[in-house]
Structure 1
Amino acid sequence: MTAAQADLQAEFLEMPEGLRIDRPNLVDGAALWRIAKDSGTLDLNSSYSYLLWCRDFAGTSAVARAADGRPVAFVTGYRRPDRPRTLLVWQVAVDEAHRGRGLAGALLDGLTRRIAGSDGLTAVETTITPGNTASERLFTSYAARHGARVERDVLFDAAHFPDGAPHDPEVLYRIGPLSL
């Protein structure tokens, strides 16, 4: 483990035993794509997009690695260009074998602590489709842990999606102000 990885690991205090946290790198793109595909709930992006994400947004994303270095969970996000102190969380996914251990919450907590410590962070945003109770619980419990309000508004309704396939609305969750 490099010194930078050790520093990053120290920020993730609640990681389940046997797992370590890291920034994603280019070679992780395929594993993130597979985890997202296997989730059965996430909108699957192209494999190309996960490769780009791991290259261009590694600083605002995190992966959990098994002892063999294989990614088993991830959080991808980016700073909003018009609100640089807001992190938009794009996707959160945990490999099926590692679910139910608090891994998604630990990754989200650690990632936001890391970003807040380096450049400041006042809010987190994400979108959740109605009925995705796991994501609703993840983000409402995150807000409670950090003493933040949650505001909800429909960001994209079904008519916004151009591909003709039925798509549930995407509800924007705004969480803040944060006390990290």
Structure 2
Amino acid sequence: MTAAPADLIVDQPAVTDGASLWRLAKDSETLDLNSSYSYLLWCRDFAGTSAVARGADGEPVGFVTGYVRPERPRTLLVWQVAVDAAYRGHGIAARLLDGLTARLAAERGITDVETTITPGNTASERLFTSFAARHGARLEREVLFPAELFPDGPHDPEVLYRIGPLTDATPH
């Protein structure tokens, strides 16, 4: 893996980034695509628990969306991660995830991360497995939503990845 471009800027999304996040999710061909409206709302209501990577032109080339679980205020649930195809292989997803969790550990005291991954999504499996290792955290997996719970046709089960506690917000 090569290093992320030096001119990459990681910050919080703005409402004006909603359309770009929708396009990145659509172009990923692996994420469940939500409505464009939901990405606009996400950039408004959950910008503080999400991150975007911007290229030299200021346009988003990657994102992580997440929220702090209401019943577990020290747990960040990562909803989606996407990186533009032209920027993949440079560690941008890891940089986004590390930066977001470091920020939220400092601002909100998060100690744990959760996400769901469908079996066979090796890119996400590697991202979160290596994240746990970098942060000296335990990783547990269990099926959260079995396939039969999804009402809209065939859907793979969603496997919950529980990572924590993070021993250090800074990766090793």
TM above 0.5, one fold?
A: yes
1:126 counterpart residue number: 115
Query: What does residue 42 of structure 2 align with?
Result: 53
Partners in 1 of 2:69 and 2:39 — Cα distance? 19
Correspondent of 2:90 among 86, 90, 101: 101
**1:79-158 mapped onto 2 (5 Å cutoff):** 79-158=68-147
Q: Which amino acid aligns with 2:142?
A: D
Quick one: distance in 1 between partners of 2:4 and 2:41? 26
In structure 2, how many angstroms separate the alpha carbons of the residues matched to 1:15 and 1:148?
A: 24
The residue that corresponds to 1:16 in the other structure is 5
Using the TM superposition, give the Cα deviation of residue 67 of structure 1 relative to its aligned residue in structure 2, in angstroms: 1.2
Runs (4+) of structure 1 exceeding 4 A deviation are none
In structure 2, distance between residues paired with 1:49 and 1:111: 20
Structure 1 contact 122–178 (Cα < 8 Å) conserved: yes
* Counterpart residue type for residue 52 of structure 1: L
Partner of 2:158: 170
CA distance in 1, matches of 2:138, 2:104: 19
Q: Which runs of 5+ in 2 are unaligned?
A: none
CA distance in 2, matches of 1:119, 1:79: 9
Alpha-carbon distance in 2 for matches of 1:120, 1:16: 30
| Corresponding letter in the other structure for 1:93 | A
Moved more, 16-25 or 53-62: 16-25
**CA–CA separation in structure 2 for the residues paired with 1:16 and 1:156:** 37
- Whether contact under 8 Å (1:16, 1:102) holds in the other structure is no
Q: Provide the TM-score with structure 1 as the length reference.
A: 0.91
TM-score by length of 2: 0.95
**Hey, what does 2:150 align to over in structure 1?**
161
Q: Which residue of 1 aligns with 2:57?
A: 68
In structure 2, what is the Cα distance between the partners aligned to 1:57 and 1:82? 17
SS in 2 for 1:135: helix
Distance apart, 1:15 and its partner CA: 5.0
- % identical equivalent positions: 76
